[in-house]
Structure 1
Amino acid sequence: MTQPLTGVKVLDFSTLLPGPLCSLLLAEAGAEVIKFERPARGDEMRSYEPKAGLDSANFVLLNRGKKSVAIDLKSSAACDSLLPLVAEADVLLEQFRPGVMDRLGLGYETLAKINPRLVYCSITGFGQHGPRSTEAAHDLNYVAAAGMLSLTAGVDGSPGLPPALIADIAGGAYPAMINILLALRQRDESGKGCHLDVSMADNLFTFLYWGLGSGAQGQWPKPASDLVTGGSSRYRIYRTSDEQFLACAPIEDKFWSNFVALVGLDVDALNGMCPHEAADTVARTISQRPATYWLERFSGHDVCVSRIVSLEEATRDPHFAARKLFDRSVTTSSGTTLPALPVPIDEVFRATETQQPSPDLGADNHLLDHRA
């Protein structure tokens, strides 16, 4: 079966995580992705640790199946050599601050005259306009600005560091992919491309739907006070006697009743307590037994309880092995092989070959040579 994005050409001027992950998703669905990088150094992520061959493991995972062109975008002659590629491209992806591509002569208005069908996607922290549009920031800053980080505060009031780059992925790469596909579908009907403005900070508010709904009713959420921020005994992390932790989320009454009965407490009594008193009561009970006891106790029952495992343990889980989550691989020119990054693209849309390379810097400069 032909992949859905076969024949789609993507020019990727992005670096680090948001744009490269978006173009990885496009490549996994069959698009030809040409990655443009600085001469000599390339994408900064190539230099990160740990290394997988000459490049970082991070870079290798995010750039599987792409091509690499090393080019100095500050050189007018070099930029001129890009124009024939622009003329035949379907998608252009960039994540510079607003105005940078314009100054390089590669802004949307300029390139749309060369290729009116071009879908031009700009990923930025705060969008193409607004008082903060040119502000220097990273993932943590966007999560802070959107009010999400404040809700991670513990009992001492200090917010915690998120263990994932939420803004880069959920606010940047994924929305960019969605909107690129929508723009390509619209182009099928109209024959015209468009400029997509993807703001990572803007897109975080979608994940705070519950807080926005409560706030609209005058009940703005606070840390450790709402259902998903630690304000309920039904959505908590409990410590066991052997210093392990159980993630417990028996929110619905049917799950909660099962959970409480198996813990050995009285559901009516717990329901009559204030949330923190109920949580303390459950915590004391859970803390008296090791994790293995509770997992055996809960086995076969609908209680929504999971042991908190390390990432290393998670990769060895028989369930994920059965799902073939890590069966694909990525290779480097030095012969290093890594399990490919799992991506949310259904297998039916992906290539049949399960091993693909990560590009060396400038390995595909010949794509410009015959156009210069």
Structure 2
Amino acid sequence: MASAPDKPLSGVRVIEFGTLIAGPFCSRILAEFGAEVIKIESPGEGDPLRKWRKMHGDTSLWWFVQSRNKKSVTVNLKHPEGIEVIRRLVGEADMVVENFRPGVMEKLGLGWESLSSLNPGLVMVRLSGFGQTGPMARQPGFGAVGEAMGGLRYVTGFSDRPPVKTGISIGDSIAALWGAIGGLMALRHREVNGGAGQVVDVALYEAVFAMMESLVPEFDVFGFIRERTGNVMPGITPSNTYTSRDGKHVTIGANGDAIFRRFMSAIGRPDLAEDPALADNAGRDGRAAEIYGVIADWVAAHDEATVLNTAARAETPASRIYSVADMFQDPQFLARGMLEQASLPGGGKFRIPGVVPKLSETPGSTEWIGPALGEHTDAVLAELGYSSGEVERLRSLRAV
């Protein structure tokens, strides 16, 4: 793929110690926008994500996306000369991203006190289940636990059934976003305040908790506990998912005052459109069951195309529920470059997700897909001053 213009993070060097999802997704975002991300992997094994889900040969397709634009360097963190390689790398880095359980980096001699003494300007982004402090800090915590403890699982699903998960590892991904945001804020602080680095401490449960809208004040002021409500958003009426005559699922958000009037008129209910009691959200929410019943009956009597065309003419937000197959055919996805074409190792093409967000002057891009294990070890060590003979010696010791 062609190189993009200078990217906003060009010149920023990031050392990633992450595995699987949260840490690697955080540094993937940085790599997409120009950071040099050096991913540290264990020799012979590498990140377990290399073997997760659907495989191309012996490598996960997910790996190719999650590690795009990164350099893979193998280092044995249990070998003293491997630790010395890391110390030299960190001495020239701007940021470290790690998602080990708290205490692991310290046992390796790579905790904050040690690394910041080597490099006072270092920013260290630490992602973990429960953060670096508190009574649960040392406990293992995957994204699923963060979603459960942070409140997301409790409100997801239908009231007559147990809580359900979303179809992706959303807790890890949310934490990764906070990690990238925090890391960039810390770099900005370093830039304008004398070059000092700092720790960015992201707990998965807190990352999820931060997304929970008005959950806390509603409980504190009214004792109200938000429960599972399926596809309906109580207090925001009408917004729901419906089933059309041809069995397709369509989501319709007619919860704006003017939008509600337009949509009710479009489906043949001018009486509801002009009812003064339904002119605002509070009035509509008080008659939610009636309104939802009207829309559900109308959608059930029409096919998906008619429902979507009617909503479009009434300028009402609506969409079919997309599968990935729908995305591959959708003109909006295609026009915005959200399905990039890349080359597979050994030949062949495949599609990968486009880069988000879109920057008008310094866009992110895919320069290469996830690398082979240790693909950049020799080159990166050479930049650190190791001769080819020294690299071979380290390899013979299984230090890299």
Fold shared per TM-score above 0.5: yes
Which of 101, 115, 119 is equivalent to 2:119? 115
SS of residue paired to 1:356: coil
Once superposed, what is the RMSD of the aligned Cα atoms?
A: 2.3
Partners of 2:316 and 2:297 lie apart in 1 by: 18
Deviations 1:82-125 (A, max 9, x none): 22111111111100011100001111100111111111111112
Which of 360, 367, 372 is equivalent to 2:372? 360
1:67 and 2:71 correspond = yes
What residue number does 1:342 align with? Answer: 354
CA shift at 1:299, angstroms? 2.9
Q: Name the stretch that deviates more: 232-241 or 211-220.
A: 211-220
Q: Which aligned pairs between 1:326-337 and structure 2 lie closer than 5 A?
A: 326-327=339-340, 329-337=341-349
Q: Percent identity?
A: 30
Which of 152, 166, 170 is equivalent to 1:148? 152
What residue number does 1:78 align with? Answer: 82
Partners of 1:349 and 1:18 lie apart in 2 by: 25
State TM-score, norm by structure 1. 0.91
> Would the aligned equivalents of 2:159 and 2:230 in 1 still touch at CA under 8 Å?
no
| Alpha carbons of structure 1 residues 258 and 219: separation in structure 2 relative to 1, 3 Å | farther
> Which 5+ residue runs of structure 1 have no aligned equivalent?
none
> Would the aligned equivalents of 2:68 and 2:368 in 1 still touch at CA under 8 Å?
yes
What residue number does 2:172 align with? Answer: 168
Partners of 2:99 and 2:329 lie apart in 1 by: 35
Partners of 1:346 and 1:51 lie apart in 2 by: 29
> Would the aligned equivalents of 1:89 and 1:118 in 2 still touch at CA under 8 Å?
yes
What residue number does 2:316 align with? Answer: 303
> Which 5+ residue runs of structure 2 have no aligned equivalent?
391-400
What residue number does 2:134 align with? Answer: 130
Q: Name the stretch that deviates more: 153-162 or 100-109.
A: 153-162
Q: Which aligned pairs between 1:1-372 and structure 2 lie closer than 5 A?
A: 1-170=5-174, 172-189=175-192, 190-224=194-228, 229=233, 233-265=237-269, 266-267=271-272, 268=275, 274-327=287-340, 329-347=341-359, 348-350=361-363, 355-366=367-378, 367-368=380-381, 370-371=385-386
Partners of 1:232 and 1:5 lie apart in 2 by: 40
State the AA in 2 paired with 1:175.
W
> Would the aligned equivalents of 1:90 and 1:119 in 2 still touch at CA under 8 Å?
yes
State the AA in 2 paired with 1:261.
S
Partners of 2:219 and 2:355 lie apart in 1 by: 34
State TM-score, norm by structure 2. 0.85
SS of residue paired to 2:212: helix
CA shift at 1:53, angstroms? 4.0
Partners of 1:307 and 1:57 lie apart in 2 by: 27
Q: Name the stretch that deviates more: 97-106 or 203-212.
A: 203-212
Partners of 2:353 and 2:188 lie apart in 1 by: 27
| Alpha carbons of structure 1 residues 331 and 101: separation in structure 2 relative to 1, 3 Å | farther
CA shift at 1:355, angstroms? 4.7
Deviations 1:281-314 (A, max 9, x none): 3222321222122223223221112122212202
SS of residue paired to 2:219: helix
Q: How many residues align?
A: 369
